[in-house]
């Protein structure tokens, strides 16, 4: 089970198992903010492509200015096209609450088009399915159809720790791995 894999061995272990694992394997990556989930997904995408595997999906890299996270992009792993998905709300305050990010609906539509066009791949990466998708069934909704269809050998899906129970309800067969690093 992946939850027992050492962090530095996670990507090599996944790739070593990829050729012999049954199609439709699903791994849920979880961890606190800035633990390195996106970096791990990017590493998996790079190494898998270098080994000749067909990689598809979306990364959600953070955008920083002067050391402060100001946005989140969507990155198409096939074309490397990138669009701004979310911007920090100007009036957001952790003390007051509310939504931290203002989402761009056009970027979500673009992301859904990308996911809807994936026919088959070796490695599918979805970074991330958050509260919008898991609780409200909004946002990157094409991810659910894509995962249900199982047209991949391995799918790595980033899910926040609080959403793991909901994810395991949908995908009880999934493995999980908690990212405990502190990189971004």
Six-digit token string for 169: 């309800």
Can you say how many angstroms the Cα of residue 52 is from the centroid of all Cα atoms in its chain? 21
Whole-number pLDDT of residue 182? 54
Instruction: With residue 92 as reference, give the H or E element that holds it.
Output: none
Across the strands, what pairs with 103? 86
Q: Return the beta strands (E) in 82-128 as ranges.
A: 82-88, 101-103, 121-126
pTM tops 0.75:
yes
At 20, list the tokens: 């012999």
Q: Which domains does the chain have, with CATH numbers?
A: 11-178 (3.40.50.300)
List, for residues 119-147, the tens digit of each pLDDT value: 999 999 999 999 999 999 999 999 999 99
Q: Cis bond leading into 128, ω under 30°?
A: yes
- Alpha helices, H only, the chain: 10-18, 37-50, 105-117, 131-134, 142-149, 164-170
pLDDT at 35: 81
pLDDT at 92 over 80: no
**Residue 4 binned pLDDT confidence (cut-offs 50, 70, 90):** very low
For 12: left if phi > 0, alpha if psi spans -120 to 50, otherwise beta; the answer is alpha
pLDDT(90) > 60: yes
What tokens appear for 64 in the block? 């920083």
* Residue 12 pLDDT: 82
Whether the pLDDT of residue 43 is over 50: the answer is yes
């Amino acid at each position: 089970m992946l939850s027992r894999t050492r962090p530095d061995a996670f990507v090599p272990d996944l790739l070593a198992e990829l050729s012999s694992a049954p199609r439709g394997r699903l791994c849920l990556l979880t961890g606190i903010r800035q633990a390195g989930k996106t970096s791990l997904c990017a590493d998996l995408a790079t190494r898998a492509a270098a080994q000749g595997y067909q990689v598809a999906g979306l990364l959600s890299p953070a955008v920083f200015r002067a050391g402060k996270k100001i946005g989140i992009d969507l990155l198409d792993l096939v074309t490397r096209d990138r669009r701004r998905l979310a911007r920090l709300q100007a009036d957001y305050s952790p003390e007051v609450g509310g939504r931290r990010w203002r989402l761009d609906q056009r970027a979500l539509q673009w992301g859904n088009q990308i996911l809807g066009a994936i026919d088959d791949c070796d490695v599918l990466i979805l970074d991330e399915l958050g509260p919008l998708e898991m609780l409200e069934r909004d946002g990157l909704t094409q991810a659910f159809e894509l995962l249900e269809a199982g047209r991949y050998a391995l799918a790595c899906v980033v899910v926040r720790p609080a959403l793991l129970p909901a994810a395991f309800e949908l995908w009880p067969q999934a493995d999980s791995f908690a990212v405990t690093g502190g990189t971004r």
